[in-house]
Amino acid sequence: MSDQTPAGVHRTDAPNGLTILSEHLPGRRTVAFGAWVRFGTVHETREQMGLAHLLEHMVFKGTATRSARDLAFALESLGGSLDAYTEREFTSYQARVLDRHLQQAVDVVGDLIFQPKLDAADLTLERQVILEEIGMVDDTPDDVVFDLHNEALWGVHPHAWRILGTRETVSALTTDDLQTLWRTQYQPARLVVAAAGNVTHAQLLEVLGAAGWLDRPAGPSTGPVVPAVTPRLGERVHHARKDISQVHVVLGGPATPVSDPRRHAFGLLGTLVGGGMSSRLFQRVREELGYAYSVYHFHSPYADTGAHGVYLASAPETAQRALDAAREILADVAAHGVSEAELEAGKQQLAGQLVMSLESVSARMYRAATSALYHEPVRTIDELLEEVAAVDAEQVAEVARQFFDPTRATLVSLGPRSVR
């Protein structure tokens, strides 16, 4: 039995625990299909750091019915694509194909999830690939500084773990670790699948049944418990590196989680502060002062918390002045909120971003899956626009006071000279 939301998303909770969502988008000629495993970096122990990401890589090394080469060609030869990624709270496998190739996409993704080989010989090779990936990130300071900021902000909590893991943890992981994770988490009761595009819900259920998804036993229905999180505010940490020419800075702290009713007020404020060329940060730090090429505000919401802040990169001789200018903007927002003119402009910008972000079939698929992963209703576009329109200056001011005060933020810098 399936239910349909006012937003046009159908949902079926299968007897084996599999959660199935779809949105039919007439006029499209493609379908996006994905599966989300309810296991990510926050579910790992410190010693296991990188395990979810390693398993995501390993399933592509071959399955009971397909070699690694077969997997690579299975959808690309049809003009489609196959991808996967590991997040802090989930691991996702996604395909994009012509509508007539949905069965092949469902079959291939099911093969990856339910029938990986996980051979020791393949682990030796793929471990080296991931060590190279870690090395590539280490050579990219604007990636590294975010990992360092997470560690400073979250301490020993799993939100501080690196998604790729470290050289030490990845080198210590074994096929037994992979098998245990796969056996306990890659099961129907721990999965959400979603599709969007030229597909009806009945068609999706039919192809899932033909590929064997609905006949598999449920498996465990629960995963590791994520411990309560307490951020470490006001930390100031510098990591010296003489081999790079800029100082990379992240100044940030905790933020609203996914389901927080203040999410639109937070998004609006983040947009005004550092969401584009018209933002205060860009106009002041880059356009007026010329202290940075890259400067912006970021926000990563999670189930239990969130993280946000300002990133900038500047030459050693101007980095402190760039940071001071960013702090002035944050302090002004925290103390005074935003003007009515800014508020209305921010609403227009946020509303436009929300609508345009839902134009693709992949975005619609992700929206459907997210509703189940975070136990949220699927809102229509009109409902989203109404929520944005309802944001008022006092809501924005309250968010600014609580989250944007730079004196409470954690500061991490990376480069040849420290900032304070």
Name the residues annotated as catalytic: 56
Where do runs of H (alpha helix) occur along 86-140? 102-114, 120-138
For residues 288 and 281, is the Cβ–Cβ distance under 8 A?
A: no
Q: What is the DSSP letter of 197?
A: E
CA torsion sign for 204, 209, 212, 218 is positive
- CA 327/CA 258 separation, integer angstroms: 26
For residues 55 and 91, is the Cβ–Cβ distance under 8 A?
A: yes
Sequence-ordered list of residues with C-beta below 8 angstroms from that of 295, at least 6 positions apart, any chain: 274, 281, 282, 285, 286, 310, 311, 312, 313, 322, 326
Where do runs of H (alpha helix) occur along 337-380? 340-357, 361-373
Provide the token pair at 95: 């395909």
CA torsion sign for 40, 45, 46, 47 is negative
Sheet containing strand 30-37, strands side by side: 2-4, 9-13, 19-24, 191-197, 30-37, 91-98, 81-86
For residues 50 and 21, is the Cβ–Cβ distance under 8 A?
A: no
For residues 160 and 150, is the Cβ–Cβ distance under 8 A?
A: yes
- 3-class SS of residue 64: coil
Q: Determine the residue type at 347.
A: K
